[in-house]
Amino acid sequence: DIQMTQSPSSLSASVGDRVTITCRASQSISTYLNWYQHKAGKAPQLLIYAASSLQSGVPSRFSGSGSGTDFTLTISSLQPEDFATYYCQQSFSDSWTFGQGTKVEIK
Amino acid sequence: QVQLVQSGAEVKKPGASVKVSCKASGYTFTSHDINWVRQAAGQGLEWMGRMNPNGGNTHYAKKFQGRVSMTSNSSITTAYMELSSLRSEDTAVYYCARGLFIILDGDWFDPWGQGTLVTVSS
């Protein structure tokens, strides 16, 4: 299976900060990479698909980039509602896998 | 709007089976795969497998092969995930999610059901 490794595992940031989360695949996955936001007690929400396409309804402060093995999710100006756990997910192989998650906490 | 509504919480004994349902509405049920993802307490998201309601083809993660079965009833636009030989490590929130696919862009999950807590305890 393709392993997805996110860094950092957690981070503390303030409202208004620029936040970058990295996801690395154990082999090249082209741009078959998606990002989700997950808040405790709620269903995960799709943010970015195909590495850089913003899902409809998602604020433009979220952006994704990368291809091959290295990807990033950027929040340009962190808002109070953005404190959550973020997951990357690959769909390159037949069996799909998630990263371990990055928890974004209030500083 | 597109919506997935899951069945309620379950408590099962070790060795038993559990069957979780996922009722879809707002789109053509047979046009999209249904995926199942779980999250154990304090852990991350874990993809379990997917099922195509149009024909019933399935693909399960290796970890769950032999223990999981994903099915559907198109007449009531409902998908099911049954997990057998339950152990304490299967205690988790189980989510269903609609699969979306575009050629050369890949597959992703949207939307997700609200989640079903399955507790395995003697």
List Cβ neighbours of A99 (8 Å cut-off, separation of 6 or more).
Answer: A4, A5, A6, A23, A87, A88, A89, B44
pLDDT of residue B105: 83
Considering chain B, what is the average pLDDT of its residues? 96
- In sequence order, what E strands does chain B have? 3-6, 10-12, 18-25, 34-39, 45-51, 58-60, 68-73, 78-83, 92-102, 106-112, 116-120
pLDDT of residue A79: 96
pLDDT of residue B104: 82
**CA A43, A48, A54: angle at the middle one, nearest 5?**
115
Tell me which residue in A44, A85, A96 faces B112 most closely, judged by beta carbons.
A44
Select from B51, B68, B107 the residue whose CB has the most chain A CBs within 10 Å, as the one to mutate to test that interface.
Answer: B107
- pLDDT greater than 90 at residue A100: yes
A83 lies within 8 A of chain B by CB: no
Across the range A90-104, mean pLDDT stands at: 96
Structural tokens at position A55: 């899902």
Indicate yes or no: CB of A43 within 8 angstroms of CB of B59.
Answer: no
A50 lies within 8 A of chain B by CB: yes
pLDDT exceeding 90 applies to what percent of chain B? 93
Indicate yes or no: CB of A46 within 8 angstroms of CB of B109.
Answer: yes
pLDDT digits 0-9 by tens, B25-82: 999 999 999 999 999 999 999 999 999 999 999 999 999 999 999 999 999 999 999 9
- What distances in angstroms separate CA A52 from CA A55, A60, A83, B32, B75, one per listed residue? 9, 12, 21, 22, 37
pLDDT of residue B103: 83
pLDDT of residue A28: 97
Indicate yes or no: CB of A34 within 8 angstroms of CB of B109.
Answer: yes
pLDDT digits 0-9 by tens, A40-78: 999 999 999 999 999 999 999 999 999 999 999 999 999
Q: Does residue B120 contact residue B12 with C-beta atoms inside 8 Å?
A: yes
Q: Which residue of A has its CA nearest to B44?
A: A100
Indicate yes or no: CB of B47 within 8 angstroms of CB of A46.
Answer: no
What's the CA gap between B103 and A12, in Å, rounded? 37
pLDDT of residue A81: 95
Quick one: pLDDT band at residue A107, thresholds 50, 70, 90?
confident
Tell me the chain A residues in contact with residue B45 when contact means C-beta distances shorter than 8 Å. 36, 38, 44, 87, 89, 98, 101
- pLDDT greater than 90 at residue B93: yes
A53 lies within 8 A of chain B by CB: yes
Indicate yes or no: CB of B45 within 8 angstroms of CB of A55.
Answer: no
Across the range A93-106, mean pLDDT stands at: 95
pLDDT exceeding 70 applies to what percent of chain A? 100
Structural tokens at position A88: 């990357």
- The maximal CA–CA distance of chain B, rounded, in angstroms, is 47
Token pair 């309804």 is at which residue?
A: A57
Neighbours of A49 (CB within 10 A): 26
Q: Residue B111: is the preceding peptide bond cis (ω within 30°)?
A: yes
pLDDT of residue A40: 93
Tell me the chain B residues in contact with residue A94 when contact means C-beta distances shorter than 8 Å. 59
pLDDT of residue A63: 98
What's the CA gap between A62 and A52, in Å, rounded? 10
Q: Which residue of A has its CA nearest to B106?
A: A32
What's the CA gap between B95 and B76, in Å, rounded? 19
Torsion angle of the four alpha carbons A35, A38, A43, A45, in this order, in degrees rounded to the nearest 10: -30
What's the CA gap between B89 and B42, in Å, rounded? 12
Indicate yes or no: CB of B115 within 8 angstroms of CB of A98.
Answer: no
Q: Which residue of B has its CA nearest to A29?
A: B106
B15 φ/ψ sector (left φ>0, alpha ψ -120 to 50, else beta): left
pLDDT digits 0-9 by tens, A11-39: 999 999 999 999 999 999 999 999 999 99
